A and B are shown apart, each in its own frame.
Chain A
């Protein structure tokens, strides 16, 4: 059974600080995705990571993928209040049946 685990589940940090969210998955996957969800709103795609060693950056967020360790990280640099949201990673694979599994989410609160 494919499992996707994120940690931490909750993160409260000061503006200007750096932090990393971790996403572990339990079996081989084709791709890894990161999404953001603001309170009361829907999910927004942030990154798609396609291969081992892939790194993508946008603004203060940088995502990386290590397929051998089955680990992705979402690094936050110099956090600002606008980054407060819930961040989800997800993995999928197409092998027989189609699976798209989301992690539990990390609720991030950036304090001014």
Chain B
């Protein structure tokens, strides 16, 4: 595997379900990010992890819970989501000094 991978690529869940999105980067970077991309809205930064510590949480509802067990892996745990949470969720990584971001293919999430 190369670059940034995300699983699953597509996810359909009910509002009472609990699911997790997974991201893995193979670039040796030390920062990882979660973004939400909705139709007709700019890309929104959700969480930032640098050296495995969360450094930014942009007022994201608590039904989204990130986890970064090491510098290569990032999870987004989802529970009791709302239909308006349906979107493309993108993971990215960067080297902290460079900050140019490398994106994964995204997970297309649909909440019913």
Q: Which residue of B lies closest to A94 (CB)?
A: B99
A43 touches B103 (CB 8 A): yes
Q: How many angstroms between the C-alpha atoms of A104 and B50 in the bound complex?
A: 26
Q: Is the interface of A mostly helix, strand, loop or mixed?
A: strand
> Quick one: given A42-B105, A42-B106, are A88 and B43 in contact (CB under 8 Å)?
yes
Interface residue count on the B side (C-beta < 8 Å): 19
Cβ contacts A to B, 15 pairs, < 8 Å: A31-B99, A35-B103, A41-B105, A42-B90, A42-B106, A43-B92, A43-B101, A44-B103, A45-B101, A48-B99, A88-B43, A98-B50, A98-B55, A99-B45, A101-B42
Name A residues whose Cβ lies closer than 8 Å to a Cβ of B: 4, 31, 33, 35, 41-45, 48, 88, 90, 92, 97-105
10 smallest CB-CB distances across A and B, nearest first, come from A102-B43, A42-B103, A43-B103, A98-B56, A42-B105, A48-B100, A45-B100, A102-B42, A100-B45, A104-B42
